């Protein structure tokens, strides 16, 4: 085959979609079953947050929005809903952020806490509020399924329940590895390989020179929860709360917090990258009690629109780089996409385009 993609989460699916539509022979190898919950791409909701200061990210967001709409048309599936997102808390210069967002082609309004509370009574606001009306919510499960379906429709193939071991570079134009699945084991050869293995990236690359370009990838187990809203008619934007570290009311926070309404499940809220470091093959899937207690306290003090005692927790993995920058590299015939956790999902179709471009660069 031309290209083997290792990992069928969001980034691997998007890369396969981009490659297959270009007429490239591509096959995807995923160690788990469709829709599994062991990684970072499952669940029904992610914020499409446009509150970035950097022009490069904002350019990607403009491209991502267009590609999400293109995927919606192709798949006849609703993926991106515009709900707006509110950012508040003293941990960020919101005036500067608003200027950057507007310069980047998105709307940005600054509101006082009273006006924001009138519009969105389910949230108690911490100081001035940055509202980005063009932001919204993505359906993560549906997005991954649409990307993979699009790749298959264009000629790609997905191998489920197939683990990859012993990835080796044979020359500048060839790799091989063992693919171990339900039907047994075989050796796979390809001109290029794209490694989008999330929490398993370091393991997959360990025997290749490409491992040398990786920063330390920190894998943690995170645990957002869905809280039951008091009133189903209450409007819910997505939200991010980044408190000032010396503010008395919020200094107990273990991290910043994010959230959004997940239709049918409740109001999702979670600490950003606060979970314990783990081995992805030895996860307990058990939420940390202290983080649970802190999240319940947050809901009680800052989300008056939910019942803090009625919630359902979920767990997922974050794979993070030290500076939260994405790894987008090519070493010989090996292309790497890693370190997307915490803010990568919104960029998914753009990351797929970038990695597909890297495959085709000779």
pLDDT at residue 183, rounded to an integer: 84
For residues 309 and 196, membership in a common domain is answered with no
Cα separation, 141 vs 151, in Å, equals 16
Considering the domain boundaries, does residue 22 fall inside one? yes
For residues 133 and 14, membership in a common domain is answered with no
For residues 273 and 301, membership in a common domain is answered with yes
Nearest to 313 by CA among 256, 347, 266, 253: 266
For residues 130 and 233, membership in a common domain is answered with yes
**Buried/exposed 235-255: b ≥16 CB within 10 Å, e otherwise:** ebbbbbbbbeeeeeebeebbb
Number of neighbouring beta carbons within 10 Å of residue 99: 13
Domain extent, residue 348, equals: 1-44+139-215+322-362
For residues 148 and 118, membership in a common domain is answered with no
Considering the domain boundaries, does residue 60 fall inside one? no
- The secondary structure of 231-253 as a DSSP string is -TTS---EEEE---TT-TTTTT-
Considering the domain boundaries, does residue 31 fall inside one? yes
Considering the domain boundaries, does residue 71 fall inside one? no
What's the token pair of residue 140? 């993560």
For residues 309 and 223, membership in a common domain is answered with yes
Nearest to 44 by CA among 147, 146, 143: 143
Give the 3-state secondary structure percentages of the chain, helix then strand then coil, rounded to 5.
30, 30, 40
Considering the domain boundaries, does residue 25 fall inside one? yes
8 A C-beta contact, residue 311 and residue 225: yes
Residue 91's CATH number? 3.30.9.10
Specify the number of domains making up the chain: 2
Report the chain's terminal Cα–Cα distance, integer Å: 17
8 A C-beta contact, residue 236 and residue 229: yes
**Buried/exposed 120-138: b ≥16 CB within 10 Å, e otherwise:** bebbbbbebbbbbebbbbb
Cα separation, 245 vs 242, in Å, equals 9
Cα separation, 196 vs 10, in Å, equals 9
**Buried/exposed 329-361: b ≥16 CB within 10 Å, e otherwise:** bbbbbbbbbbbbbbbbbbbbbbbbbbbbbbbee
For residues 185 and 97, membership in a common domain is answered with no
Cα separation, 107 vs 98, in Å, equals 8
Considering the domain boundaries, does residue 338 fall inside one? yes
For residues 235 and 304, membership in a common domain is answered with yes
Cα separation, 3 vs 6, in Å, equals 10
Considering the domain boundaries, does residue 202 fall inside one? yes
pLDDT at residue 52, rounded to an integer: 97
For residues 12 and 89, membership in a common domain is answered with no
For residues 314 and 226, membership in a common domain is answered with yes
Q: What is the chain's pLDDT, residue by residue, as a tens digit (362 residues)?
A: 999 999 999 999 999 999 999 999 999 999 999 999 999 999 999 999 999 999 999 999 999 999 999 999 999 999 999 999 999 999 999 999 999 999 999 999 999 999 999 999 999 999 999 999 999 999 999 999 999 999 999 999 999 999 999 999 999 999 999 999 988 999 999 999 999 999 999 999 999 999 999 999 999 999 999 999 999 999 999 999 999 989 999 999 999 999 999 999 999 999 999 999 999 999 999 999 999 999 999 999 999 999 999 999 999 999 999 999 999 999 999 999 999 998 999 999 999 999 999 998 66
Considering the domain boundaries, does residue 354 fall inside one? yes
pTM: 0.97
Helical H segments across 126-194, by residue range: 140-153
For residues 103 and 238, membership in a common domain is answered with yes
For residues 186 and 316, membership in a common domain is answered with no
């Amino acid at each position: 085959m031309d290209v083997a993609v290792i990992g069928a989460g969001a980034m691997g699916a998007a890369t396969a979609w981009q490659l297959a539509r270009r007429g490239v022979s591509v096959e995807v190898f995923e160690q788990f079953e469709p829709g599994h919950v062991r990684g970072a791409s499952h669940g029904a909701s992610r914020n499409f947050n446009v509150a970035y200061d950097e022009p490069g990210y904002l350019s990607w967001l403009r491209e991502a929005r267009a590609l999400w709409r293109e995927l919606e048309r192709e798949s006849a599936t609703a993926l991106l809903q515009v709900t707006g997102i509110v950012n508040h808390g003293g941990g960020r210069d919101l005036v500067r952020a608003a200027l950057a967002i507007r310069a980047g082609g998105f709307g940005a309004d600054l509101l006082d806490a009273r006006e924001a509370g009138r519009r969105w009574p389910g949230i108690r606001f911490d100081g001035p509020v940055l509202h980005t009306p063009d932001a919204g919510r993505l359906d993560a499960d549906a997005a991954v399924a649409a990307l993979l379906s699009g790749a298959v429709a264009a000629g790609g193939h997905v191998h489920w329940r197939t683990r990859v071991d012993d990835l080796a570079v044979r020359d500048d134009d060839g790799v091989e590895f063992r693919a171990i699945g339900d039907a047994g084991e075989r050796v796979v050869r390809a001109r290029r390989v794209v490694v989008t293995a999330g929490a398993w990236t370091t393991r997959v690359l360990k025997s290749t020179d490409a491992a040398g370009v990786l920063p330390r990838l920190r894998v943690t187990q995170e645990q957002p929860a869905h809280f039951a809203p008091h009133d189903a008619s209450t409007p819910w934007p997505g939200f991010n709360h980044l408190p000032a570290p010396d503010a008395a009311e919020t200094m107990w926070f273990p991290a910043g917090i994010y959230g959004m309404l997940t239709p049918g499940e409740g109001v999702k809220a979670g600490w950003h990258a606060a979970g314990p470091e783990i081995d992805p093959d030895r996860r307990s899937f058990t939420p940390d009690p202290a983080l649970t207690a802190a999240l319940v306290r947050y809901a009680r003090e800052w989300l008056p629109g939910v019942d803090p005692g009625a919630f359902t927790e979920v767990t997922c993995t974050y794979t993070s780089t030290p500076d939260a920058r994405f790894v987008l590299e090519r070493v010989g015939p090996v292309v790497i996409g890693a370190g997307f956790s915490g803010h990568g999902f919104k960029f998914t179709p753009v990351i797929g385009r970038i990695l597909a471009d890297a495959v085709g660069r000779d």
